[in-house]
Amino acid sequence: MSKISPLKFTPILKSVLWGGSRISSFKGIAPSNSLIGETWEISGLEGVETKIATGEFKGMTVSELLSSHGEEIMGQRLFQQYGTHFPLLIKFIDAAQDLSIQVHPNDEIAAPRHNCSGKTELWYILESQDNSIIYSGFKTPTTLNEFKNHVENNTLTDVLACFSPKRGDIFYLPAGRVHSIGAGNLLLEIQQSSDITYRVYDYNRTDFNGQKRELHTELALETIDYQVHDEYCIHTEPQIDCEIEINRCNYFATTLLKVKNSCRIDVANKDSFRIIIVTAGKGNLIDCYGNNIPLRQGNVLLIPASTEWIDIIGTNGKAIEVVTTYVPM
């Protein structure tokens, strides 16, 4: 196998009505004249694929890369399972206004309806302004008919679990969990590679033309988990120079580390690529082939499965915080 270096991609900036201006400053890129609500950092979705930004594969899309180096990038296990379809989607989201209340279908519903995977996701809060909120799940058990009545009567938020997030909070959102990002939140999103969203409530807002946005309430009804669950929100403090797991599901495992000196991440023993997301600070990444890559807040890199290990190095005793994700066995 060839020695493929860590891969950087050119993010896709999504201009939306509810977007803001914080992603540019967070990532250290030129500000946009538009309201940027999302950056798609690594995406293999057809029609919205990110392209490699530098190196020998510059300009190639994710699927093009997997067509020629699939097993090296994905690992044998995942390449056999997914082929040239990259299974994860990585985003930064900046909500300057409240997002709609929504839900995503699971694999079993999304496959026959939309010919794609479901959408389970995780949020890692990067910044949250005073009075910002997150809705995640129900605070009281709710039936399908009760849910419909709450939507019709504009009382849906009365039965949703509401949180005042702070930096480092983690929200795991399995498919079927009703949720919403409130205004003032900047976050990292790790999710299945799917863009299927059912909007169930939008606060009766209208667009520039005075039109209400389409709702998908009927489609959503059979996808929703109406039960109450524990640990909608967790908070785990990173340990210095040590990688800790903060979430694991069938689709992705997520880890957190805060490095002042150095921390080694074994890549090969997971039989999966590893995605590195720098959530604070700066430092360096050194891989088993001797590549030395500067890191700063907002960087996202794809580490091929063929890489044996990487070291994350702090700078002059100042910490760099990194979230990583991969597909577990």
Q: How is residue 107 annotated by DSSP?
A: H
CB 194 within 8 A of CB 121: no
Q: Cα separation of 12 and 8, whole Å? A: 13
- Residue positions annotated with a catalytic role: 199
HSE-up (13 A, CA, CB side) for residue 101: 28
CB 118 within 8 A of CB 222: no
Q: Cα separation of 193 and 118, whole Å? A: 8
Instruction: Write the CA distances from 123 to 169, 241, 328, integer angstroms.
Output: 8, 23, 18
The residues, ordered by sequence, that sit 6+ positions from 33 with a Cβ below 8 Å of its Cβ are none
* Residue 27 structure tokens: 């990532």
Helix (H, G, I), strand (E, B), or coil: what is residue 17? strand
Phi then psi for residue 255, to 5 deg, are: -125, 165
